[in-house]
Amino acid sequence: MTTDLTFDAVLPPMSEMENINHMMARALKMERFGQCFFSLFHELVEDEDSKILFQHLATENARNCDAFIEEMMINEGEIAEKRIFNPEMMFNKGARVIKDEGLTSIMGYAIEIERRLMKFYRMALTDIKNSGIRKLLKELANAKERNKHAIEECLVLKQMEMALS
């Protein structure tokens, strides 16, 4: 007697609500990471313009986290515990190492955080059909793109200041 051990590798498709809740759970984790990063570097950087920018970004990420939590509660989605990110594991380097690399490096990581979130929100649009959630995702993607550009502009100004000093 032979047993057929082949399995259908295709998972059953998620419902729209499961898809939305899954996307929001991932977005919440990413936004929390951004909030931790920007809050931490708001405290660590000495440059006043960068402090202001990082404070703004930390506040924006916190608002986004609150919005996802509220939406997930409405949808009865599972909300992950508030995760505290270990600053010494940030980007597998640690916050102190990143800080020691200088403002240019810190800004590079900040740009990467916003770029990844922007890309995530744009990719999520392909899977979500709900018009309200799609509108939110578009707004978030656009906000992340604006943030990325603001960080890039701040970086260029800081590099020009360093070159002139």
- Return the number of other C-beta atoms located less than 10 Å from residue 29's C-beta: 15
pLDDT at 4: 43
Over residues 152-165, mean pLDDT? 90
Using 50, 70 and 90 to split pLDDT, how confident is the model at 1?
very low
pLDDT at 113: 95
Residue 9 lies in a domain: no
- Full 3-state SS string of the chain: CCCCCCCCCCCCCCCHHHHHHHHHHHHHHHHHHHHHHHHHHHHHCCCHHHHHHHHHHHHHHHHHHHHHHHHHHHCCCCCCCCCCCCHHHHHHCCHHHHHHHCHHHHHHHHHHHHHHHHHHHHHHCCCCCCHHHHHHHHHHHHHHHHHHHHHHHHHHHHHHHHHHC
Total number of domains in the chain: 1
pLDDT at 65: 92
Over residues 133-148, mean pLDDT? 96
Contact between 111 and 151 under an 8 Å Cβ cutoff? The reply is yes
Among the ranges given (5-9, 116-120, 142-146), the one the predictor scored with the smallest mean pLDDT:
5-9
Residue 95 lies in a domain: yes
Using 50, 70 and 90 to split pLDDT, how confident is the model at 11?
very low
pLDDT at 18: 83
Of 52, 60, 53, the closest CA to residue 35 belongs to 60
Alpha carbon distance 113, 148 (integer Å): 9
Residue 82 lies in a domain: yes
Residue 85 lies in a domain: yes
Residue 118 lies in a domain: yes
pLDDT at 91: 74
Residue 101 lies in a domain: yes
At residue 31, does pLDDT exceed 80?
yes
Alpha carbon distance 10, 77 (integer Å): 24
By residue range, what is the domain housing residue 143?
16-164
What digits encode the pLDDT tens for the residues 75-115?
Answer: 775 665 566 666 667 777 778 888 889 999 999 999 999 99
Q: What is the pTM of this model?
A: 0.83
CATH number, residue 49:
1.20.1260.10
Residue 11 lies in a domain: no
Q: What is the mean pLDDT of the chain?
A: 85
Alpha carbon distance 91, 84 (integer Å): 14
Of 42, 159, 24, 161, the closest CA to residue 110 belongs to 42
Residue 8 lies in a domain: no
